[in-house]
Structure 1
């Protein structure tokens, strides 16, 4: 029997969780998360991880499986998620993949380049350089070692800059030389469902969700992980703003407003990324009947 991966895509706050649950229930299947932060067991509230009730409704994978200090990459996710899907497809004809992490979704749907795994020694070297010399110095070094990648990388994202330098140091080649960006073939069909709302409606939902997270204990969660604030896993909207409050730099109301603002900015980045993919069929998340009709008509 043909195997199908239904991918539910959309910006933060659009309503992916509930619709994914309904679709998984419709096909009596499970959900594979493609959220790079829901992997961390300590980050439940700030990542809007599935609740116990939702986990009881539908089995989930790649939720709460890592500790904050664990190193993890999109390449690891690609390998582990594909292994899992191969296992799941021995029992199921259809599996649901959902989340907002663009690189993780692309890792499964398109594949990422076969970039060498960074050894611990190189990783520690680059981290110490970052801590001692700062991001600006590393950006200048990247410009010298790989000017082509320097032109396109987000220079404000230390993870991206550091990883490129790790590859340069370890391989003696440019990071660009490993980025072929050729789409890999998968042994299953992929159907992409994009969820979209009017900007005003989406922003209202994002603001409401931040207020709800605060009511549910986001501050207590941020306090619990504050000692680990230098980790890349906590360079995340919702936590980094509250750390500013805990350090006395911002007022609480200002920090909460910044969480809302940065969440809205992130949603725009997600939509810019997703809209480049012509394979996505877009729907309003409340048009469930229309979505299910489309899925049934387009899976094998």
Structure 2
């Protein structure tokens, strides 16, 4: 059918510029796989590409959903695959760029369909965590889904809460929805990973946070503060501002924590990627090497 070039890497590494350059090179479009840039109300804090960049080549799945709508990676898989197949009707190559690990895996490998969770169920689990702590969540999961209890990271409250939401929503164990099978795709997939030296990457992250603050990140978060309970806003760059607004610490500490937590997220992304042997790694400045590699790998006639 065609070739999907997946351009991935940690936050702040420099994926946007290269994705646009490659899209122009192949005369194609970009599928964004960023689980936060997809929301309309989150612009500054998610580093949405500039208007000129978005207009340079067609982009899809950027600011298409509202934070008020529950949107998960299974829904992204279905919508992205439809768009990719549609693009392959007229194009030999499609670019997918972003750093959301689950979104990338959803398109490349497929994920198991999960039920949509009612906001009432989500809030009840969240309230249980805030009231009774993580140990109460663990014990409830052990009772409702012993299999998940033995496999989930018991220190990760978010993972435990998600499993409980599914259990309470469906009356079935969360583990019963996980088949773990990899779905075959009818198109070829080439994964290009971008990375930098740790000090260089972290410096870029710190400077980008400063730029976001100058651009009005605090004001954007303040506008979203009444919606802070929504799942879409449970993310780095917004949670810290919400805590600042609640008086938990001062403004300087909020900015420091955003930088620290963004660096931690970048490390988490790189740990996830290390388990994928299909990724071909480059420094973002190795543009010529990347293009030569793709020309030798992708059967494309200019």
Alpha-carbon deviations, 1:146-194, whole Å to 9, x = none? 2332344345655533332233234443222322211111111000000
Alpha-carbon deviations, 1:81-128, whole Å to 9, x = none? 11111111111111110111100000000000234x2364xx523422
SS for the counterpart of 1:8 is strand
1:288 matched to which residue of 2?
Answer: 287
Matches of 1:35 and 1:290, distance apart in 2: 25
Query: Which segments of 5 or more consecutive residues in structure 2 lack a partner in the other structure?
Result: none
1:127 matched to which residue of 2?
Answer: 123
Matches of 1:20 and 1:27, distance apart in 2: 11
- Give the superposed CA RMSD: 1.7
2:116 matched to which residue of 1?
Answer: 118
SS for the counterpart of 2:276 is coil
2:269 matched to which residue of 1?
Answer: 270
Deviation, 1:221, is: 0.6
Q: TM-score, normalised by structure 2?
A: 0.93
Matches of 2:155 and 2:211, distance apart in 1: 29
SS for the counterpart of 2:6 is strand
Q: Check 1:133–1:11 CA distance in 2 against 1; reply closer, same or farther (3 A cut).
A: closer
SS for the counterpart of 1:285 is coil
* Cα pair 2:109 2:182 within 8 Å, conserved: yes
Q: Which moved more, 1:167-176 or 1:102-111?
A: 167-176
Q: Check 1:88–1:236 CA distance in 2 against 1; reply closer, same or farther (3 A cut).
A: same
* Cα pair 2:32 2:60 within 8 Å, conserved: yes
Mapped pair 1:32 → 2:31: yes
* Cα pair 1:130 1:138 within 8 Å, conserved: no
Matches of 1:130 and 1:9, distance apart in 2: 32
SS for the counterpart of 2:31 is strand
1:239 matched to which residue of 2?
Answer: 238
Runs of 4+ in 1 over 4 A off after TM superposition: 154-159
Query: Which segments of 5 or more consecutive residues in structure 1 lack a partner in the other structure?
Result: none
* Cα pair 2:8 2:98 within 8 Å, conserved: yes
* Cα pair 2:195 2:283 within 8 Å, conserved: yes
2:163 matched to which residue of 1?
Answer: 164
2:202 matched to which residue of 1?
Answer: 203
Matches of 2:23 and 2:126, distance apart in 1: 43
Mapped pair 1:178 → 2:174: no
Deviation, 1:262, is: 0.3
Alpha-carbon deviations, 1:229-256, whole Å to 9, x = none? 1111111111111112222211111111
Q: Which moved more, 1:8-17 or 1:164-173?
A: 164-173
Deviation, 1:202, is: 0.5
Q: Check 1:51–1:151 CA distance in 2 against 1; reply closer, same or farther (3 A cut).
A: farther
Matches of 1:167 and 1:251, distance apart in 2: 37
SS for the counterpart of 1:5 is strand
1:55 matched to which residue of 2?
Answer: 54
SS for the counterpart of 2:179 is coil
* Cα pair 2:192 2:279 within 8 Å, conserved: yes
SS for the counterpart of 1:248 is coil
Deviation, 1:68, is: 1.1
